[in-house]
Structure 1
Amino acid sequence: MPSVVPRDVEVAVGLPGDDLVPHADVVMDRAFSVDARPAAVWPWLEQLGKRRAGWYLPRRLERALPSSRRALRRLDPSYGGLQVGDVIPDYGGRDETFTVAMTAAPSYLVYTSRRRGTDVSWAIVLTPEDVRTRVHLRLRLGPVKHVRLAEVAGGLFDALTIAGMAAGLRERVC
């Protein structure tokens, strides 16, 4: 699995959507690079989601999943064109969703949600680096009752899922 550890400067910089959960108790930053320009990466990120394109994993891991649970390996134009206010089903539970709060293709996509009394924002920011794209993801949570548990257990889960997504995205885009 690829590293998803962000650079120090990425953690320090403000991102679109940071103000949506201004007093976050937990902030998780992940980042990785993809060998394609933002315009080529964007549609793959825009179609993520439950009952949409799924959640990307590398082929070797997806083989262990039932075919009905595997993510798309192609772009589906019907999932493009996200607008502010669009609601996307999420894997956090049967009725969990994300709402598009901000979007500027192919630069950033920010979702919000509310989970058991905790406000959530999730920013996906694409930055060009020559012919590559740096993908920076930031999850902000607040208020959080058990901060240490969210940081450790939630952080591990977040790192693993983003590492899987990074590897799966690289296979699809490149």
Structure 2
Amino acid sequence: MAQPNKVAAVQELTDHFRNSTVAVLTEYRGLTVAQLKALRRSLGENADYAVVKNTLTEIAAKEAGIDAFEGQLSGPSAIAFVTGDPVEAAKSLRDFARTNPQLIVKGGYLEGKALSGAEITRLADLESREILLAKVAGAAQASLSRAAALFQAPLSKAVRTAEALRAKQEEESQAA
């Protein structure tokens, strides 16, 4: 018979898995409590960093339909559940792991797709969502400006041609 506190823990983890867009599995062996607090602060308000029990996490992941962590849940594990921008959270984890090499990013999942530790590092190398949206908007605006210039070019060419013909007719009428 399952203990009520374990059932509640599995349910809480399952809810975290279902409500987050990204979950990153880490091993925190050798980190102090103060370092873990600093990591939680660096992740921001859109992420929860929770130390988890491996067997309960495995059960919760299966209940949420996630198989990204199979075979990776060993040793002291913690998961960063991210509900906001995945790039910002990945950058925070990468930067923290640079200064604290005891933190090991094992893997994760992004919107249902399994990610390796290397893929999470590549995700951290991306620019933030706002910067990417600004670049897309700038490219769209540049394309619209080029399109407007293309549409205006035949019109201005026609005006210049008509002006040249008018000037030529004036010359011919003055010469005759």
1 or 2 for the larger relative contact order (CA 8 Å, sep ≥6)?
1
What is the TM-score of this pair, normalised by structure 2?
Answer: 0.22
Higher helix share: 2
Q: Which has the higher strand share?
A: 1
